[in-house]
Chains A and B, each alone.
Chain A
Amino acid sequence: MSGPESLKPDDRLLEEFLAGEGAVRAAYHETALVQPPPALDAAILELAASAKAPVMMRRAARPRWQLPMATAAVLMLSLGVLLQVQRDPAVQQQLMASPDQATPAASAPAEVVADAALPPVLAVTKPALDEAAVEKKQTAVAAASPKPARPAEKRAPASPPPPPVMAEVLPAAVPAPPQPAATADAPVAEEESLERAAVLGAMAQESMQRRERSAASVAKAQANRSMAPAAAFAASAEPMPQAMADAQSSSLLAACPALQAGQLPAIASETAAITVARLLLVQRFGAEVIASYEPLQAERSGAHWLVKGSLPSGSAGSAPEIALCATSGKALRIQQPLKAE
């Protein structure tokens, strides 16, 4: 019952047509002489020939060794950085140290500041740097300091990614002839970029934000340079102790060398430290803000003074804090106040 004979006439007609047979199909074939105009053929063929190769095909033509080669290169570089970190005792010490001792300048929400235009220069604080390295950086920055500031876009290609702790120009604490200010991070950063990337890479984004804030504060600081409290720094002649055992961080110590024989300290007393700190904090955060954290309290820790504001009772957050180098009178680090609502 399934053969063509069993089908209805309409169904048989359909089966014949679908099989390419039958009277209707034959008659329709007679109409197949109709064709598109030759000019249309030429236009379409030209269109097809002029079409560019698709992007997907160009991608497929890429050498296949690129991806494994890039992967291998990344692995080799990572291994090299890891070995370098392992061989460097200073970095190892940094990594093994407890969080509250390891990198106060880097882990705390603080900003290391320096005035590259004024000798001696403290351009940067770097965790676990030995003193020789710091002296080398200071020499390099000091040599560059009398030069006019270079445009940022000219420094950019030679500068590695910004370090987690950025140097920043702040108002001078010691009287100095007016000189063009220059950021001191570029030459130092070139030397330290690899170590920073290994140890402090996770903080790079935060440092970028700090750098932006620093740019604004630089302009403000330069405008207020004439107001620097020079007299307060020169008031005391008390010699500084040599011991650095109780320093909060090796980076601060490295940036603030011990007093040499015959050298007079810039900040010798607690009163002088509070006076200088108040002026700098007011310049940076405003008088009203700093007034809310009064009284300021100074504590000497080795070669530097740590001046903290008092957190208002009942409020959460953190008070402003500033580290001053007693030897040179420089501001080493400023921690901005944070008020938690």
Chain B
Amino acid sequence: MDGGLGALGALAHHRGMAADLPDPTDETLMLRYAAGEAAAFAPLYARHKDGVWRYLLRGSRNEASTAELFQDVWASVVKSRAAYQPTARFATWLYRLAHNRLVDHWRAARPHEELDEAAQELAGLEHETPSARAVQSEQGARLLSALAALAPEQREAFLLQAEGGLSLEDIATTQGVGRETVKSRLRYALVKLRKELADVWP
């Protein structure tokens, strides 16, 4: 636990020091880390760790599995650092790693079933877990409930944009579909989620 607090303290220290200087981009930090500057990894991790965690948590349902997937994704970042080329946003590359790992998880969990069916069943109700209840509002819980009820591909398109900030093109590339298909998926997802919140935001 000390190590964890120390790591978080280092992240907070980094954020404080960076206040005076323009923050280096994700791509710059990744290139510096790939070049051997180990300290460049901490701010990069701090920027993206929460989003990746939520993406995996809401894609896999199981918190224990999420921890494993999360560690695998960042281990892939470390392992693949020498091959990293800033041809796209770092976030796009990172969430593509996360997507691939999540798909592997789905296939391993239900290798003989259709991917969508397995993902549909695995995609659980995050708001029902005790940790989620402690930190989320009623509105947030309702939104997550509606998110979990979405079709897997719709939910993932939503999460890739909401957490990773991926563009329609990046989501299309990650999911292996066309841009219009992604727009359609997002549109369906947003309509359903908006309907869930109709009584709050009519």
- Which residues of A are at the interface with B, using a C-beta cutoff of 8 A? 10-11, 13-14, 17-18, 22-25, 27-28, 30-49, 51, 53-57
Contact = CB atoms under 8 A, between A and B. Distances in A.
Contact of B140 (A31, A35, A49, A55): A31
A291 B117 CA distance: 85
Nearest to B66: A36
A17 B4 contact: no
Nearest to A39: B4
Contacts of B136: 30-31, 33-34
Contacts of B77: 48
B18 interface: no
A46 B126 CA distance: 29
Contacts of B131: 34
B139 A30 contact: yes
Interface string B15-58: 00000000000000000011110100110010001100110010
Contacts of A49: 38, 41
Prevailing SS type, chain B contact patch: helix
B5 A38 contact: yes
A45 B49 CA distance: 11
A37 B190 contact: no
B186 interface: yes
Contacts of B7: 38, 41-42, 45-46
Q: Which of B36, B53, B67, B190 has the most CB of A within 10 A?
A: B190
Contacts of A43: 3, 71
A37 B78 contact: no
A25 to B, nearest CB: 7
B179 interface: no
Prevailing SS type, chain A contact patch: helix
A44 B201 CA distance: 40
Given A36-B50, A41-B8, A55-B82, A23 B194 contact: yes
B1 A17 contact: no
Given A14-B187, A54-B36, 13 more contacts: A10-B191, A13-B190, A17-B190, A18-B168, A30-B136, A41-B45, A43-B3, A43-B71, A44-B45, A44-B74, A47-B75, A51-B78, A55-B82
B108 interface: no
A37 B4 contact: yes
Contacts of A57: 34-36, 82
A39 B190 CA distance: 34
B97 interface: no
Given A17-B161, A38-B8, A32 B50 contact: yes
B101 interface: no
B47 to A, nearest CB: 13
Nearest to B50: A35
B151 interface: no
A74 B40 CA distance: 42
B193 interface: yes
B6 interface: yes
Contact of B53 (A30, A35, A42, A54): A35
Interface string B139-165: 110011000000000000000011000
A210 to B, nearest CB: 47
A326 to B, nearest CB: 71
Given A42-B4, A57-B34, A28 B135 contact: no
